[in-house]
A and B are shown apart, each in its own frame.
Chain A
Amino acid sequence: MEKWADNKAWFLVLPVFVVVAFSAIIPLMTVVNYSLQDIFGPGNAVFVGTEWFKEMLTDTRLHDALGRQFIFSSLVLMIEIPLGILIALAMPKKGWGASASLVTLAIPLLIPWNVIGTIWIIFTRPDIGLFGVGINSLNLLDVPFDHTARPSYAWVTLMAMEVWHWTPLVALLCYAGLRAIPEAYYQAAKIDGASSWAVFRYIQLPKMRGVLTIAILLRWMDSFLIYAEPFALTGGGPGNSTTFLSIYLVKLATGQFDLGPAAAFSLIYFLIVLLFCFIFYQALLNVGKGEKTS
């Protein structure tokens, strides 16, 4: 390769450097900066080293929030992924039914997130909400349903909201994956006498691996970072029962103005999300890969 005499071409990369610097690197480094200082006010900060990290790693409230976050995200994945696949399998393949179901599925995805929280507050209200009034009129529960009354009620409401909100995304992705399977696969399966379970297990599921990887990653990250909906619906309560990581973080940073610990917490949070995305990605990438040697 011939070497160029001057390196002016590097200036063409400059706009990207500037955009990335302002959108990612500078904010991130600011957070790193905060996490190493105790900030008393503007221009009044003391360097504290790793003290905030130590404090955050031993904070029991953070541990509790992290635990809740894991349970929430795992439950969400376990419900949304199979449900999304089932919906995609049941959707019509062509005609007006296909368009109608696509539009219907897309509706929850188009609503602003805090509006969704408000919709569900009204939906589950025990005095006027369709769900709240409906379930209470059945008289099945010892304590009348009200999502602020009990942690379990708050969780059920949150889960239902999350599933309602995001299963359509999984279903749409799976639907796209299913439509991409050539007709010959189904024809060959018929000729081979495969049962519909075998068609799902050996054709549809493997062919959906790509879209499922995306669906799982997106849903994991999004549910792990959930903020707007529980903030609008429960505000983290009752007690701390729905205080997830981001809600706790915002309380710490803007409620108590503990910028140093909040910054340290943010970095730990970021690393956890990154780590799990990496693990899922590797796992899904390698599942069913061909063994090259006997």
Chain B
Amino acid sequence: MARIEFDQIAHSYYPNPTVASDYALKEINTLWEDGGAYALLGPSGCGKTTLLNVISGLLKPSKGRVLYDGIDVTDLPPEKRNIAQVFQFPVLYDTMTVFDNLAFPLRNRGFNNTDTTRRVHEVADILDLTPDLKRKAAGLSADAKQKISLGRGLVRSDVAAVLFDEPLTVIDPHLKWHLRRKLKEIHEQLKLTMIYVTHDQVEALTFADQVIVMYEGEIVQVGTPEALVENPRHKFVGYFIGSPGMNFLPCTLEGQNARVDGVTIALDPETAALGAKARGMLELGIRPMHMEVHGSPVDGGVPVTMKTVEDQGSFKILTSALNGHTLLSRVPEGHPVPEKQAWLKFPPQRTKLFADERLIR
């Protein structure tokens, strides 16, 4: 187990990167505490897997240093780093039995037979693989194969960290939920550092204590699931997390208020003061669930035209238009839904200001 640190890591797949867009990872400084459960969240192609491969040593970064417990391991190959990694698609040693597959990482490191057998049985128990231990791995289902891959990642109890690269992609939905719980349990039991890559926000938010959101090769925010929902630091976090994502409206400042196409929206005094100092293009952001929807004019309400209503079972998503800008709001089931005209209230505490896509703070 170890504390993993990135010191000015950058990576490019090109031999001579010149512009910023040549980099798959732009300068990253971050820290993974010993025993933490982290999720790396971001869209496809944002550099999540690259970052994971830099941690495990499959990839040597173009710049910067990787530190395990303060020791520079940048030049060490993965087998010398004592790390475990589980890949997106099951990787099996086809000719071996399930037992031998699980024992493989231990035997390669010279563990004796008693320890190996004990560990393999422990891991097989956790993953419900015990009945299959003596079977050849090749004939099993995709689920079982991926469980073996997970097992190989978890079988060494002394690893610096276990890295998961979208490991549940090939798993059936109901089993996905079960395995995610298992992983969480294993984390609580063994206190292993776990870093879990995913593009599924539900998976990230349920698995991790700390979620790292990546966008175009950069870490845009590190925080608890709650912080990501309440205080997105970047416009991307705003619309990537949450269902549906945050509303954004281009605006200008006018004293304590924001002006959106001639409509006035009241702001928190603190937000307005910070906004007055900020440079760049201003935008107002608010989560759909924080918006109040009224059927008749209210004080501070902004008149909008109703467009569509989507009933999602436990809540409804209302789409409305404000001078050509589309606004989404989320109301609980049973909340009255205005027909043509509605008045939206923007609670000042929940209304955030962004300058050049970043939260003003």
Give the chain A neighbours of B136 by CB distance below 8 A: 288-291
- Please tell me which one of the listed residues A185, A193, A289 contacts residue B105 in the complex, with CB atoms under 8 A apart: A193
Residue pairs across A and B with Cβ atoms less than 8 A apart, 9 shown, are: A184-B89, A187-B85, A187-B91, A188-B87, A188-B91, A190-B78, A192-B152, A289-B138, A290-B135
Q: Which parts of A173-225 form the interface with B (CB within 8 Å)?
A: 182, 184-185, 187-188, 190-195, 198, 202-203, 206-207
Binding site for A on B (CB under 8 A): 53, 56, 58, 77-79, 83-85, 87-89, 91, 93-96, 104-105, 108-109, 134-139, 149, 152
Report whether A291 and B135 are in contact in the complex, using a CB–CB cutoff of 8 Å: yes
Q: Are A192 and B104 in contact (CB under 8 A)?
A: yes
Across the interface, A191 reaches (CB within 8 A) one of B84, B94, B138, namely: B84
Name which of A184, A192, A288 has the most chain B CB atoms within 10 A of its CB.
Answer: A192
A3 at the interface (CB under 8 A from B): no
Q: Does residue A292 face the partner (Cβ distance < 8 Å to B)?
A: yes
B77 A190 Cβ-Cβ under 8 A: yes
Question: Do A185 and B108 touch (CB < 8 A)?
Answer: no
Asked if residues B84 and A206 are in contact (CB atoms below 8 Å), the reply is no
Contact among A182, A193, A198, A288 with B94 in the assembled complex (CB-CB below 8 Å):
A288
Residues of chain B lying within 8 A (CB to CB) of residue A190 = 58, 77-79
Given A193-B109, A194-B108, A198-B108; A188-B85 close (CB under 8 Å): yes
Whether B135 lies near A195 (C-beta < 8 A) is no
Query: B-contacting residues of A (Cβ < 8 Å)?
Result: 182, 184-185, 187-188, 190-195, 198, 202-203, 206-207, 288-292, 294
Partner of B58, one of A187, A194, A290: A187
Q: Using Cβ atoms and an 8 Å threshold, which residues of chain A touch B84?
A: 191
CA distance A202 to B152 in the complex (A): 15
Whether A290 and B56, one on each chain, are in contact in the complex, defined by CB atoms closer than 8 angstroms, is no
Cβ of B137: which chain A residues have Cβ within 8 Å of it?
A: 290
Interface centre among B77, B78, B95, B108 (most CB of A within 10 A): B95
A294 touches B85 (CB 8 A): no
Task: Give the residue name and chain of the B residue nearest to A198 (CB).
Answer: B108
Give me 4 other A-B pairs in contact (C-beta within 8 A), A194-B104, A288-B138, A290-B138 excluded. A182-B89, A191-B79, A191-B84, A206-B93
| A234 CB to nearest B CB, Å | 42
Which residue of the partner chain A has the closest CB to B165? A184
CA distance A96 to B27 in the complex (A): 33
- Verify B95–A191 contact, CB threshold 8 A: no
Please give, as numbers and ranges, the residues of chain B lying within 8 Å of A192 by CB-CB distance: 79, 104-105, 108, 152
The answer to whether residues A191 and B78 also contact, given A182-B89, A202-B93, A202-B95 and a CB cut-off of 8 A, is: yes
Contacts of B135 in A (CB 8 A): 290-292, 294
Contact (A191, B56) CB under 8 Å given A288-B95, A290-B136: yes
Chain A contacts for B138, CB-based, 8 A: 288-290
Closest to A194 in B: B108
- Give the nearest-CB partner of B80 in chain A: A193
